[in-house]
Amino acid sequence: MCRLALKSADTPFSPYDVLTAMEAMQEGYDGSGLGLLLRGVEFEDFKLKPHHVVLSGIAHTEAAFHRLTDWMGGQGFQVKYVHEFERRPGLIEAKDRFNYMVRAYKMPDAWAGLTPEQIDDKLLEIRLAIRRDGDAHGGDITIFSLYRDVVMLKEVGWPLEVGDALGLSDSRLRARVVMAQGRQNTNYGINLYACHPFFIQGIATMTNGENTAFVPIKEWLLGKNIPGYIGYHSDSETFTHILHYITKKLKLPLELYKHVITPLKTEELDVHPNGDFLKGLRTACRRLIIDGPNAVIATLPDETCMLVMDQKKMRPATVGGRPGAWAIASEMCGVDAMVPDRDPALDFQPMRQHTVIIPPERKELTIWSQFDQFTLPQAA
């Protein structure tokens, strides 16, 4: 099994805090990959502005680095800040790491009149173009994200060693939300694109478990021809795209994510106050039903954080915290490491019907049950 850790706090903190929590759970991963997502990012020596976006990725060669730099300039992006990592290369086994890129850009002036949704589409288009270019040149660029106040780091290795290799303990890079996954490779190859979290248009998820319905779900998603539904180096990437599809394309409330991936039984829907709608949703999205053990953690652009479990609760997860700081982890010791000054008696271990939400205000947890009534937007 993999191990997951997320911390969300009002006061920005170092990602190394979450890596320390991963170390407490180290029996649950094998060093085949670390993925980090930082949201609500703050740099020690630069202040992001609303018209800035951050590119995260790896240039594996000097030629790739210069090619990307020139191409971004040609698209109208202006470099405003480059985060330089205090690297210790000896801690990373791979040698083709010319530059770990975390670069803040001013968006093109031509985008000034675009809506936020149009900007999201443009950023996705640019990220996909960079990925295609890297693939066309033998994989010499790996692009993780291009978005507002988001940084993503991925590397093969043990979480704390990767953090030390990139100097993340120096606190020059902080965030209000940090997600981390220590990978236990099971069904797929060791590949940077296979490291969780996965990201599309501000939505990110990471999973402990597997999706045994991966192939038909992947084929259904690919068949929608929606930009960004590509890759699938891991079966868990489908969790991200399903969340994106439900909230961005169908524009359904977040509560319905659980109803799509693990719907209630017919006899349970017969007595549900929204039963008729949910039966229709289950039929319409039947190809997206997830089979297999999993715990899924997600974050959204507004810093909402979410945890859901599989139908039989076959993967562990605990949520705990206090007003202003909350944590989700695969093991209770992970929560202990991230928010030690909480009351553990108030920790919550969700069951199969629960969706646990850490709201952006971070005052208290919100816990939804699939058996609860919900309100649909008029468009639905």
The domains found in the chain, sorted by start residue, are 42-148 (3.30.70)
Residue 85 clears pLDDT 80, i.e. is over it: yes
Nearest to 259 by CA among 295, 308, 222: 308
Q: What are phi and psi of 135, to 5 degrees?
A: -65, -40
What pLDDT does 29 receive? Answer: 61
Section 357-372 average pLDDT:
97
What pLDDT does 191 receive? Answer: 82
Q: Tally DSSP H helices, then E strands, for the chain.
A: 10, 17
Section 45-63 average pLDDT:
97
Give per-residue pLDDT as tens, 271-290. 999 999 999 999 999 999 99
Residue 187 clears pLDDT 70, i.e. is over it: no
What pLDDT does 158 receive? Answer: 87
Gap between the terminal Cα atoms of the chain: 37
Distance of alpha carbon 97 from alpha carbon 122, whole angstroms:
28
At residue 380 the predicted structure's pLDDT band, cuts being 50, 70 and 90, is very low
Give per-residue pLDDT as tens, 157-173. 888 999 999 999 999 99
Residue 307 clears pLDDT 90, i.e. is over it: yes
At residue 184 the predicted structure's pLDDT band, cuts being 50, 70 and 90, is low
Nearest to 168 by CA among 149, 153, 182, 156: 153
Give per-residue pLDDT as tens, 134-153. 999 999 999 999 999 999 99
Q: Do residues 183 and 30 make contact, with C-beta atoms less than 8 angstroms apart?
A: yes
Give per-residue pLDDT as tens, 24-43. 887 656 667 899 999 999 99
Residue 379 clears pLDDT 60, i.e. is over it: no
Give per-residue pLDDT as tens, 293-304. 899 999 999 999
Question: What average pLDDT does the structure give for the chain?
Answer: 93
Section 212-223 average pLDDT:
94
